[in-house]
């Protein structure tokens, strides 16, 4: 009897929904692989007829509801895109209907913020990974010989092994003196050394046989947090590298279910840049694949294993890889040398930690990077139509 009642409720709900104006979105997977945790974007212009800023996304056949999120990129008070994550088998197509709604109660699992209580970090996370980088106060403390500062434009990895948010919890534990995020009490820890290395995706500038780097970020802007994406902007101002004045802005985002952050880097004053992964003490194994546009480093790490990876979005911008080994502390990095197009380049960088249970071998990690790259080169195909 309960099954009949539930079925009737679904039919009634679906009938009521079908009476409302809606936008239909067909999503096609053109690859011979199953795909999930890929975010599609529907522009505000495509949704204008629904006259809403909150939406309900439903699979057209079985009425399953998908989590969605809107993002106002330019902070003008109006959303610019609607996000959702379809799940498709190899070569499969699915159609979704988007309706105007009045509520959006999904949890914020993709999160970032400025952290003034820990000097001036900027930290971000999703359900799988977390990162941070360092601001101007931390730089000034080092330059003034004040204890506790950090001089680095590298990207730090926080090795979480739980799906719920940990940034605020770990910082509170650290600043209150009730614990330390350098100790693993079941959620993970920060035991990833960055120093002046590139960490996981920091940039550098090649000068003959050496590399020069920028200092800490100077400004920040949080653009969005939500169930599917966090996005923010870091400004580095003007600085001089190899006699050239460089201006740098990074727009960084991290989507739900992914291990790699997206870095969109805008640079003036140079035609080339290198994005790197730290090699720490150089005891791990590097892999590069120019045809697919990715590189990885799989290393022993504090009794476990850690994989770092970087994927280039536009294969035409990838010039070469360089495994740069130095006797100086934190100077050994694996670099992807990139050509700028219109003063910009986009790549993805992140990590997989064996203790999280996500990846247990180098082969699994490299397969993830290979598949990620193939999907980036072959995005899901969208066809948007008005159902009204």
d(CA 107, CA 1): 33
Strands 55-59 and 93-100: antiparallel
CB 312 within 8 A of CB 360: no
Neighbours of 109 (CB within 10 A): 21
- pLDDT, one tens digit per residue, over 195-242 is 999 999 999 999 988 999 999 999 999 999 999 999 999 999 899 998
CB 29 within 8 A of CB 70: no
CA distances from 78 to 69, 72, 73, 82, 356 (A): 13, 6, 9, 11, 38
Domain ranges of the chain: 2-105, 111-357
Q: 353 CB contacts (<8 Å, ≥6 apart)?
A: 159, 161, 188, 301, 304, 305, 306, 307, 359
Would you say the pTM of this structure is higher than 0.75? yes
d(CA 362, CA 274): 24
Mark 133-150 as b/e (b = at least 16 C-beta within 10 Å).
bbbbebbebbeeeeeebb
Scan for tokens 């070469």, then name that residue: 320
User: From first to last of its 388 residues, what are the pLDDT tens digits of the chain?
Assistant: 444 433 333 444 444 455 678 999 999 999 999 999 999 999 999 999 999 999 999 998 888 999 999 999 999 999 999 999 999 999 999 999 999 998 877 999 999 999 999 999 999 999 999 999 999 999 999 999 999 999 999 999 999 999 999 999 999 999 999 999 999 999 999 999 999 999 999 999 999 889 999 999 999 999 999 999 999 999 998 999 989 999 999 999 999 999 999 999 999 999 999 999 999 999 999 999 999 999 999 999 999 999 999 999 999 999 999 999 999 999 999 999 999 999 999 999 999 999 999 999 999 999 999 999 999 999 999 999 987 5
- Does the 111-357 domain belong in CATH 2.70.98? yes
Provide the CATH topology of domain 2-105. Immunoglobulin-like (2.60.40)
Instruction: Tally the C-alpha atoms within 13 A of residue 79's C-alpha that lie toward its C-beta.
Output: 21
Entry field: residues in the chain:
388
């Amino acid at each position: 009897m309960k099954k009949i009642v539930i079925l009737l409720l679904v039919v009634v709900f679906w009938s009521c929904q079908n009476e409302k104006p809606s936008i239909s979105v067909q999503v096609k997977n053109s690859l011979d692989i199953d795909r999930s945790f890929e975010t599609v974007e529907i522009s505000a212009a495509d949704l204008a007829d629904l006259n809403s800023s909150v939406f309900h996304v439903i699979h057209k056949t079985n009425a399953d509801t998908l989590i969605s999120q809107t993002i106002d990129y330019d902070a003008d008070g109006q959303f610019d895109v609607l996000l959702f994550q379809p799940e498709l088998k190899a070569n499969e197509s699915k159609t979704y209907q988007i309706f105007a709604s009045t509520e959006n109660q999904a949890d914020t699992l993709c999160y970032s913020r400025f952290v003034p209580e820990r000097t001036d970090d900027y930290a971000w996370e999703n359900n799988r990974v977390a990162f941070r980088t360092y601001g101007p106060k931390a730089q000034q403390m080092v330059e003034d010989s004040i204890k506790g500062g950090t001089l680095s434009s590298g990207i730090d990895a926080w090795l979480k092994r739980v799906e719920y948010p940990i940034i605020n919890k770990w910082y509170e534990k650290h600043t209150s003196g009730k614990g330390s995020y350098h100790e693993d009490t079941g959620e993970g820890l920060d035991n990833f050394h960055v120093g002046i290395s590139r960490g996981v995706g920091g940039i550098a500038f090649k000068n003959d046989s050496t590399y020069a780097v920028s200092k800490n970020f100077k400004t920040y802007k949080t653009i969005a947090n939500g169930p599917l994406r966090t996005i923010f902007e870091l400004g580095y101002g003007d600085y001089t590298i190899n006699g050239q004045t460089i201006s740098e802005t990074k727009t960084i985002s991290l989507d739900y279910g992914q291990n790699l952050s997206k870095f969109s880097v805008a640079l003036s004053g140079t035609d080339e840049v290198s994005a790197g992964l730290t090699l720490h003490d150089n005891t791990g194994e590097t892999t590069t694949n120019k045809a697919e546009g990715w590189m990885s480093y799989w290393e022993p790490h504090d009794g476990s294993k850690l994989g770092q990876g970087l994927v280039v979005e536009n294969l035409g911008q990838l010039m070469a890889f360089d495994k740069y080994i130095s006797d100086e502390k934190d100077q050994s990095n694996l670099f992807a040398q990139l050509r700028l197009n219109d003063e910009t380049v986009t790549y993805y960088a992140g990590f997989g930690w064996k203790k999280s249970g996500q990846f247990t071998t180098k082969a699994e990690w490299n397969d993830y990077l290979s598949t990620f790259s193939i999907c980036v080169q072959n995005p899901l195909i969208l066809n948007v139509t008005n159902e009204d």
